[in-house]
Amino acid sequence: MAKIEILVVEDSPTMRQLIVFALKRLKDVNVTEASDGVDGLKKLSNHKFDLMIADINMPIMDGLKLVSLVRQDPKYNDMPIIIVTTEGAEEDRKRGLALGANAYLTKPVQTTQLLSTVKELLKLQ
Amino acid sequence: MSKDRTEEFLSTFKKTADFVKELLQENEKLRYQVASLQEEIKSYKEKGVGIDAHAQCIAKIAELEAEKSEILKKIREVEAENKNFAEKYIEVEQENNNLANLYIASYQLHSTLNFKEVVQIIMEIIINLIGAEIFVLFLLDEKTNELSPIATEGIELDQVTNVKLGKGIIGQSAKSGENYFSDIIPMFDSFNQDNPIACIPLKIKEHTIGVIAIYKLLVQKSTFSELDYELFTLLAGHAATALFSAKLYTESERKLSTIQGFIELLTK
């Protein structure tokens, strides 16, 4: 059975480790880490992912730009995207979802909330 | 005439005889049936069925009713236990998540001896795990007994001034080594250095080396959670040792390169 491939794009090593730690609790999951939007795009072009989790505030290329570029790629039209960010204002949420994110979670994020969102988007039990 | 009467009499007599015969046959049949029924009743009585059967059925129904209510009671108990287990599972899950956060925060804090990186990790923990928007990290200068800001978030470093040990909420918190939490988290109006909503002294044993002063939480966060208090406890100890070790290491590295340079100069 093929593993579920998840890409985590987050500049904070602490936050990245926390997300990876949480995702590893799911069965048959392979997590790839990227530290900014450009790094994320590179990894997306080299590998097929089933889901992407991205922060918004990142150096070099922010998460919103990354989401809009990913959505322009037909290969990733259907890939679920979760934004995990400190930006909690309603307009930020609307903008993130309008650009093509499937879920918008605000920090500090609860592990249970993150995992249930991932399961829901990947239609896991 | 006499012949006719005789025939009539004979005919009537014959009919009567037939009728009597039929009656006798019928009587025989009924006798047989009565005997059979009596036999049957006798057999039922021997088996204990009869009038007692009704009472027995009622007793059985009562017994089953009692059994049913006992089962229902047990189902209710199992359901309550199940609910209790589900609640405990959620609690354990929450505790597990909290421990994961604390483990990662602690792991990151001790993952480097570079002072700038340690400071960066402390900032990340406060932003991402606690959810603070505006805060300042002060370090105590033991020569001047002043707390100097070394890193800020949500505000420029030059907007923050030194704080005398024992002065104001921040100075008092550093001096006493006690955490400070504002009773209510007021609506943030403008930055007022002397009015933080939380102060966490960074301590190595009883020795304070700095303070984290939080002024504003992220818009989606209205109050501190249980996990935040645990993270503050962790930061108070682990951030202090991480900062102190990194500072010592950086200083020793600098001194080492100075000494090496001096030795090179002498040996030339």
What residues pair up with B212 in beta bridges, in sequence order? Answer: B137, B200
| A14/B105 CB distance under 8 A | yes
Helix, strand, coil in percent for chain B, rounding step 5: 65, 15, 20
CB B214 within 8 A of CB B176: no
3-state DSSP assignment of residue B9: helix
| A13/B125 CB distance under 8 A | no
Per the model's pLDDT, the better-predicted residue between A118 and B188 turns out to be A118
The model's pLDDT over B22-63, given as tens digits with 9 standing for 90+, comes to 999 999 999 999 999 988 888 877 776 666 777 888 899 999
| A14/B219 CB distance under 8 A | no
Spell out which residues of chain A touch residue B127, defining contact as CB-CB under 8 Å: 12, 86, 107
Tell me how close the Cα of A80 comes to any Cα of chain B, in angstroms: 23
Q: Give the chain B residue nearest A107 (alpha carbons).
A: B128
Q: Does A125 lie at the interface with B, CB-CB under 8 angstroms?
A: no
- Residue A49's alpha-carbon distances to A22, A71, A115, B238, B265, in angstroms, are 18, 13, 17, 37, 57
- CA torsion, ordered B98, B99, B100, B104, to nearest 10 deg: 110
Which pLDDT belongs to residue B78?
A: 96
User: Which of B91, B96, B97 to mutate to test binding with chain A, by most A CBs within 10 Å of its CB?
Assistant: B97
Q: Does A112 lie at the interface with B, CB-CB under 8 angstroms?
A: yes
Q: Considering only CB atoms, which residues of chain B are within 8 Å of chain A?
A: 93-94, 97, 100-101, 104-105, 107-108, 121, 124-125, 127-131, 133, 218-221
Chain A residues 19-58 within an 8 A CB cutoff of chain B: 21-22
The model's pLDDT over A17-47, given as tens digits with 9 standing for 90+, comes to 999 999 998 989 999 999 999 999 999 999 9
The model's pLDDT over A63-98, given as tens digits with 9 standing for 90+, comes to 999 999 999 988 888 899 999 999 999 999 999 999
Spell out which residues of chain A touch residue B130, defining contact as CB-CB under 8 Å: 108
Mean pLDDT of B228-254: 90
Tell me how close the Cα of B133 comes to any Cα of chain A, in angstroms: 9
Which pLDDT belongs to residue B13?
A: 87
Mean pLDDT of B83-95: 91
- What span, in angstroms and rounded, lies between the C-alpha atoms of B193 and B205? 27
Q: Read off the tokens for B157.
A: 């470093």
| A18/B221 CB distance under 8 A | no
pLDDT band at A115 (very low <50, low <70, confident <90, very high): very high
What ranges in A24-101 are assigned the alpha helix state H? 37-46, 63-72, 90-98
Which pLDDT belongs to residue B93?
A: 87
Q: Give the chain A residue nearest B228 (alpha carbons).
A: A108
| Mean per-residue pLDDT of chain B | 90
Residue type at position B233: T
Mean pLDDT of B139-157: 94
Q: Does A108 lie at the interface with B, CB-CB under 8 angstroms?
A: yes
Which pLDDT belongs to residue A66?
A: 95
Mean pLDDT of B173-186: 89
Mean pLDDT of B262-267: 86
| B130/A108 CB distance under 8 A | yes
